[in-house]
Amino acid sequence: MADETIEYYSENLSPIIRNILKQMSEKKINLTDKSLNDALMSNEDFSRLFQSTCRPVYKISVTNRMLPYIDTLKGYVSDRELSDIFAMINGGTDIEDITDAFLGSLAKQLIKNDKRLSTLTEFVESLFKKVLSTQDKMTDNLEDNIRFVEKDINQDKELLGNAEEIEQILREEGIVFPGKPFTKFMEAFDSKLTGKKDKLESMTESYSKIESELTEYKKEVAQLNENIRKYRQETITDHLTGLSNRKYMDIKLAEEIVRFGRHGQPFCILLMDIDNFKKINDVYGHIVGDQVIKHLGGVIKTHIRKSDFSFRYGGEEFLVLLLNTDIENAVRIAEQIRHKVETTNFTLKEKTFVITVTIGVAQYMKGESVESFLERADKNLYNGKRFGKNRVVG
3-state class of 310 per DSSP? strand
Domain that holds residue 347: 246-393
The residue among 218 and 22 whose pLDDT is bigger is: 22
Question: What are the residues whose beta carbons fall under 8 Å from the beta carbon of 179, sequence distance 6 or more?
Answer: none
User: Going along 250-379, which residue ranges are E strands?
Assistant: 267-274, 309-314, 317-323, 345-348, 351-354, 357-363
In a domain, 44, yes or no: yes
Q: Which letter does DSSP use for residue 27 in this model? A: T
72 and 129 inside one domain: no
Terminal Cα distance for the chain, rounded: 44
Burial of 174 (0-12, 13-18, 19+ CB in 10 A): exposed
Q: What is the C-alpha R_g of the chain?
A: 40
> Model-level pTM?
0.51
251 and 231 inside one domain: no
33 and 165 inside one domain: no
Q: How many domains does the chain have?
A: 3
| CB-CB contact of 73 with 65 (8 Å) | no
Residue 187: φ, ψ to 5°: -65, -45
Kindly state the greatest CA–CA separation across the chain: 160
Distances (CA, A) of 152 to 140, 149, 185, 196, 321: 18, 5, 18, 8, 66
Q: Over the stretch 234-243, which tens digit does the pLDDT of each residue have?
A: 778 888 899 9
386 and 263 inside one domain: yes
Q: Is the pLDDT of residue 340 over 80?
A: yes
Taking residue 349's Cβ as centre, other Cβ atoms within 10 Å add up to 5
User: Going along the chain, which residue ranges are E strands?
Assistant: 267-274, 309-314, 317-323, 345-348, 351-354, 357-363, 392-393
37 and 154 inside one domain: no
Report the percent of the chain where pLDDT is more than 70: 61
How confident is residue 75, by pLDDT bands cut at 50, 70 and 90? low
Q: What is the pLDDT of residue 80?
A: 77
How confident is residue 76, by pLDDT bands cut at 50, 70 and 90? low
Residue 320: φ, ψ to 5°: -120, 135
Q: Over the stretch 241-299, which tens digit does the pLDDT of each residue have?
A: 999 988 889 888 988 998 898 888 999 999 999 999 988 888 888 888 899 999 999 99
265 and 352 inside one domain: yes
381 and 256 inside one domain: yes
How many whole angstroms separate alpha carbon 160 and alpha carbon 166? 10
Identity of residue 62: V
In a domain, 119, yes or no: no
| CB-CB contact of 335 with 369 (8 Å) | no
In a domain, 208, yes or no: yes
252 and 228 inside one domain: no
- Residue 273 belongs to a domain with what CATH number? 3.30.70.270
Q: Which of 361, 369, 263, 279 is nearest to 320 (CA)?
A: 361
Q: Which residues are catalytic?
A: 316
Q: What is the DSSP string of 221-255?
A: HHHHHHHHHHHHHHHTB-TTTSSB-HHHHHHHHHH
Q: Which of 12, 21, 16, 85 is nearest to 55 (CA)?
A: 12
Sign of the CA dihedral with 64 first, then 95, 277, and 363 last: negative
User: Going along 181-288, which residue ranges are E strands?
Assistant: 267-274
Identity of residue 38: D
Q: Is the pLDDT of residue 40 over 90?
A: no
**Any idea which of 112-126, 287-301, 338-352, 361-375 has the lowest mean pLDDT?**
112-126
The continuous run of DSSP H or E covering 240 comes out as: none
In a domain, 90, yes or no: yes
222 and 347 inside one domain: no
The partner residues of 237 in beta bridges, in order of sequence, read 244
